[in-house]
Copies of this chain bind each other. A is one copy, B any other.
Amino acid sequence: MTHPPQRALADIRIRVQRDLTDYLALQTHYLGEIGSELVPVAEAMNSFLLDGGKRLRPLFAYCGYLAAGGVESEAVIKAVSSLELLQACALIHDDLMDGSDTRRNKPSIHRHFEAMHNDEDLTGSPTSYGSSAAILLGDLALVWSDQMFHTSGISSQALLRSLAIHDEMRIELMAGQFLDIHEQALGSSSVARSLKIARYKSGKYTIERPLHFGASLAIESPQKLTAFMDIYSEFGLPLGEAFQLRDDLLGVFGDPSTTGKPAGDDLREGKRTVLMAMTHDRASQAQESALAKYFGDPDLTNEGVEILQTIITETGAREHMEELIEKLTLTALDALNRDEIEPSAHALLNELAAIAIRRSV
C-alpha cells in the first residue's frame, strides 16, 4: 500500500519529469534550427536528464514552497524543475574532473562524445573532443537551468525575490566543488575539512538552498521569509550532511545496481571523504600501511576493494558514520516541529528526509 506522502512526492516527481521533457523538446528544436550538428548535443542532454535521478532538489524546493504556505502551482513546479539542469551541469563537469566512465550505468557525457568521435571517424583526439563537449554541455545546462527558471511563469515578484538565493546557491556549489578538488590534491586528510566540503557540496546545495529557494517563491514578507529560512537551515544543514555521509558510505559499500557506479570506484579514485578521514584517524599502524598501499590505486582489484572495506569497518569508522547520520537526522527532524510549518506539508518533508538518507526510495 502506498503511503500518502510517498504518493504526493511521486506525483510531484511526475510533474517535474513532464516539465523537463517539455523544456528539452523545445530546446532540441531550437538547437536543430541553428544546425543539425547540434542535435546530438540536445539528444545527449535528453538521455542524461530524463533517464534517472531522484529529483531531490526540485522535491525539496517544492515541499519547501508548500510548507511555507505556497499553494499548488504548475509555474512553481517548472521553476523548481530547473534545478535538475543545474545539477546536470554539476554532474557532467564532476564526471569529467573525476575521470568517471559511467553515470547511472551509462557512459558519462565525455565518454559518450568520445565514443561518437570514434564511431564517426572524426579527426583529432577523441578524448579532447569528449572533454570539450562535456565542458560545453555542462555550461549549456547551467544556462538552460536559468532560462527554464526565468520562463517558468511564476510572478515577477516571486522571480525577483528568489534571484538572490538562486545565485548564492550556485556560488556555494562551485566553491564546494573547488574545496573538494583541492582536498583531493592535499597529501593529508582531515575530518573537519571533509565535513566542511560536505556542508557546501551537499548540505547547502542539495537541501538547505533548495528549501530557501522554495520559501522565497512562497513568502512575500521579508521578515517572514528570513524567519522561515532560519528554520529551513536548522532542518536542511544537518540533513544535508547526513545525506553526504550516506553518499560516502554508498561509494564504498553500495550495490552498483543501485548506485549506478562500479563498486569501489571511490576507493580507486582515492576520494577523500569524511568516511576515509575517520578511517585514517582510527587506523592502527598496520591498517594505515594497507590504506597507503591500496587506497587511490586506479588498478585496485575486487579483492583490494574488499580489504579496504574490511579495514573501514574494523576501525569502527563505518559504525560511527551510521551513528552520526542518525544523530544529524534527529536534529534535522526536530527542527520541523514548529507551528510555522504548514501541517499538510510536514509529512512530505519528513518523508523526503527519509529518502535523502536512504531509509526509503
**A128 beta carbon closer than 8 Å to chain B:** yes
Copy total for this chain:
2
CB contact under 8 A between A129 and B181, given known A142-B139, A144-B171, A171-B143: yes
Question: Chain B: which residue is nearest A121 at the CB level?
Answer: B187
In the complex, what distance in Å separates the CA atom of A31 from the CA atom of B140? Answer: 25
CB contact under 8 A between A139 and B179, given known A151-B164, A164-B150: no
Question: Chain B: which residue is nearest A169 at the CB level?
Answer: B143
CB contact under 8 A between A171 and B93, given known A160-B160, A185-B123, A186-B123: no
Asked whether, in the complex, the Cβ of A146 is within 8 Å of the Cβ of B131, the reply is: no
List residues of chain B with CB within 8 A of the CB of A175.
31, 34-35, 38, 140
| Chain A interface residue number, banded | 35 or more
Q: Which listed residue, B124, B138, B185, touches A129 by the CB 8 Å rule?
A: B185
**A196 beta carbon closer than 8 Å to chain B:** yes
List residues of chain B with CB within 8 A of the CB of A135.
93, 96-97, 135, 138
Asked whether, in the complex, the Cβ of A174 is within 8 Å of the Cβ of B136, the reply is: yes
Residue-wise, chain A 14-55 has the 8 Å CB interface mask toward B (1 for contact) of 000000000000000011001101100100000000000000
Asked whether, in the complex, the Cβ of A171 is within 8 Å of the Cβ of B140, the reply is: yes
List residues of chain B with CB within 8 A of the CB of A168.
147
**A133 beta carbon closer than 8 Å to chain B:** yes
Asked whether, in the complex, the Cβ of A174 is within 8 Å of the Cβ of B128, the reply is: no
List residues of chain B with CB within 8 A of the CB of A122.
185-187
Asked whether, in the complex, the Cβ of B196 is within 8 Å of the Cβ of A35, the reply is: yes
Question: Chain B: which residue is nearest A123 at the CB level?
Answer: B187
List residues of chain B with CB within 8 A of the CB of A170.
143, 146
Asked whether, in the complex, the Cβ of B139 is within 8 Å of the Cβ of A93, the reply is: yes
Asked whether, in the complex, the Cβ of A93 is within 8 Å of the Cβ of B142, the reply is: no
Q: Which listed residue, B136, B150, B181, touches A136 by the CB 8 Å rule?
A: B181
In the complex, what distance in Å separates the CA atom of A143 from the CA atom of B169? Answer: 10
In the complex, what distance in Å separates the CA atom of A171 from the CA atom of B35? Answer: 14
List residues of chain B with CB within 8 A of the CB of A171.
30, 140, 143-144, 147
**A167 beta carbon closer than 8 Å to chain B:** yes
List residues of chain B with CB within 8 A of the CB of A132.
97, 181
| 16 residue pairs from A and B, CB less than 8 Å apart | A34-B172, A35-B196, A38-B178, A97-B131, A97-B132, A123-B187, A124-B185, A124-B270, A132-B181, A133-B181, A136-B174, A136-B177, A138-B139, A143-B167, A147-B168, A156-B156
* Known interface pairs A96-B135, A136-B177, A136-B178; 19 further A-B residue pairs with C-beta atoms within 8 A, sorted by A's residue number: A34-B200, A35-B196, A93-B135, A97-B128, A117-B185, A122-B186, A123-B187, A124-B184, A129-B185, A135-B135, A136-B181, A139-B142, A143-B167, A144-B171, A147-B167, A150-B163, A150-B167, A151-B164, A151-B167
